[in-house]
Amino acid sequence: MISEPISSTQMAHQAAAAIFPCQDLVSIRDLGAAEINGIFSLATRLKSHPADFRTALAGKHVAMFFEKPSLRTRLTFEAGVAGLGGSISFVDQTSGRLDARETLSDIAHNLERWVSGIVLRTFAHSTVQGMASYARVPVINALSDLEHPCQALADYFTLQQRFGNLKKICLAYVGDGNNVAHSLLLTAATIGSKIRIATPQGYGPDVQIVADAKEIARHTGATIELLTDPREAVAGADAIYTDAWTSMGHEHEEAERARIFPPYQVNDALVAGAAPHAVFMHCLPAHRGEEITNEVMDSPRSVVFDQAESRLHVQKAILISLLGGENTRMPVRNAHA
């Protein structure tokens, strides 16, 4: 007997039921190891066979509100939704905060009646948390001042594609203990990997993020090391990661940071201490000549553009997982009411 081929819509429903235990992606803390592995498995299928999912989000509409400029995040979400058969609206909030004109709850209660999901790129993490608490449709954190979960998931997906078993690799992050570092730390803890984070004194990761990551690691067997010496961090590492020394919203600290961070530049001298097969990572945009040199950025072992590509596949997997099934908080109404 020949079975009927499964449609992309059916795949989407199965993925949504199988991956996400919650209805939003606000933080990596919303996920367990099984959920992250499920996202990676689906992203692998999406990367290999994108046409199989071209109608996975047919009839779905997504709203994006960005308080910060964006290249990769905006275009990968737009391309991702379009590639899955959905549609998207982009609202530029760079001239003012999302809740400047009306309350976040009022915005959420409007949006939930119009769209299937909401993607936010904000300054305050509380904005994402608030929208998720008010809106009865899924909310995705596309960056906040505390976390960048989509980026970290794409980064570890890139490493899985390169090395296979993530439990056997060591990622060294060198630079500012910012939102990207937070999400990398939580992801490594959740999947049971090894991570070293080296920052200048006073620029380390958020203490609550560290505490949460260590508590997760206690159950998963992950290894977390917080250091101040970048050479100690990269010694024997399989991947070396850096980010801008000054994140958006901290421009007033730029001169001071430019004085403190040069010893943390990812250059040929620093990466010489890593494993011979080590790859070099950056979430972009890069300030060439500051946190990373051209020689490292353009090295054959650089995977920065693989990371950028991974954003598309992983975010498509997240979109399918959250929007592809029936996991909506909208109440079921009687059609004859």
Told to judge if 74 belongs to the known catalytic residues of this protein, a careful annotator would answer: no
Q: Is 298 a catalytic residue?
A: no
Lookup: tokens for 235: 């010694």
Distance of alpha carbon 259 from the chain centroid: 29
Task: Write out the two tokens for 224.
Answer: 């977390």
Q: CA dihedral defined by 68, 26, 194, 160, rounded to 10 degrees?
A: -80
**Distance (Å, whole) CA 222 – CA 46:** 28
- Annotated catalytic residue 243: yes
93 catalytic? Reply is: no
What count of Cα atoms within 13 Å lies in the side-chain half-sphere of residue 169?
Answer: 21
How many angstroms separate the CA atoms of 125 and 24, rounded?
A: 14
Tally the C-alpha atoms within 13 A of residue 192's C-alpha that lie toward its C-beta: 10
For residue 333, which phi and psi values (nearest 5 degrees)? -110, 145
CA 5/CA 7 separation, integer angstroms: 6
Q: Which of 72, 121, 125, 196 is catalytic?
A: 121
279-282 and 194-198 beta bridge pairing = unpaired
Q: Which residue of the set 145, 311, 313, 315 is catalytic? A: 311
Catalytic residue status for 30:
no
- 197, β-bridge pairs: 173, 226
Contacts of 24 (CB under 8 A, 6+ apart): 30, 132, 138, 139, 140, 322
Q: What are phi and psi of 90, to 5 degrees?
A: -110, 130
CB atoms near residue 138 (< 10 Å): 26
- Which of 129, 151, 307, 315 does the annotation list as catalytic? 151
- Note if 148 is an active site residue: yes
Q: How many CB atoms lie within 10 A of CB 337?
A: 4
Say which of 170, 243, 257, 282 is annotated catalytic.
Answer: 243
The residue annotated as part of the active site, out of 283, 307, 313, 315, is 283
Say which residue the tokens 């999912």 belong to: 53
Residues belonging to the active site:
121, 148, 151, 243, 283, 311
